[in-house]
A = this chain, B = another copy of it.
């Protein structure tokens, strides 16, 4: 059996910013270390929860370099290279490879709506061809409710056929179990192709269907609890375990607050670093009153763990 190109529990790492809204590198590095220590197999730097597209390519490159300079191993890192311009995506991928990170998570170009599968194929092919490094692994990023641009199973199948090894996997953040099953079928036809779900609430379903794990915003908050299900998914009572794991998502999203702002507010509370609540516009930080509402909702829902 061909091993999956990548598997496990990953956090799309939240990006702390200072008062000037520049990336707070010391806080960022400390957080990356905590995530790896607390349960994550690896880190996705600059996914949607990281506010990736709110930072310039230069800012993203500098942050990656700081994390590597701090001693966090390159093999633990997937670099989000999602941008509206394919040339920026190439630059970010080349930079990652030059620094020993050969895995990238790639959004489709997301400005123009209603683009064709042919156009998306050409966009991803341009990136793969321009980078031109056989070590590159691209994990395509399906999050249509945010990016506006979905990836079809047919497109993924074509990419995996024409770029074997380079087209290494997909992250499905649609939250749609039917779509996850379609992507798992693509993976079944291309051994080694890794399917990640974008919500830990589908982790069990994904692992049972041959998927690779999850890259979930909630892994920024409860990496240990998500890791525990990942380790025990074959155990008796896994369904109940999955059900219990959903408590934070249900509580946090039940408030109606932006999920990224909420995850940052929870991190601020955990670390007692108030600056963690900040976000870059166009997102808006939770107000103190909203933070209180969030913390109350989470406290009420938190299970008593044995």
Which residue numbers of A lie inside 8 Å of B, CB to CB?
21, 53-57, 59, 83-88, 91, 108-113, 115-116, 118-120, 122-123, 125-126, 145-149, 280-284
Contacts and interface: CB of A to CB of B under 8 A. Distances in A.
Nearest 7 A/B pairs, CB to CB: A123-B281, A119-B282, A122-B281, A115-B282, A53-B111, A53-B84, A56-B87
A118 B284 contact: yes
A167 to B, nearest CB: 16
Given A112-B282, A126-B281, 6 more contacts: A53-B109, A53-B111, A54-B86, A54-B111, A84-B110, A119-B283
**Residue in A55, A56, A111, A283 whose Cβ sees the most chain B Cβ within 10 Å:** A111
How many copies of this kind of chain does the complex include? 2
Given A56-B57, A56-B88, A109 B281 contact: yes
Contact of A281 (B113, B120, B280): B120
Contact of A86 (B88, B123, B126, B280): B280
9 contacts: A53-B111, A54-B109, A59-B87, A84-B110, A109-B281, A113-B146, A115-B283, A116-B284, A118-B284
A7 to B, nearest CB: 28
Contact of A123 (B91, B119, B282): B282
A295 to B, nearest CB: 22
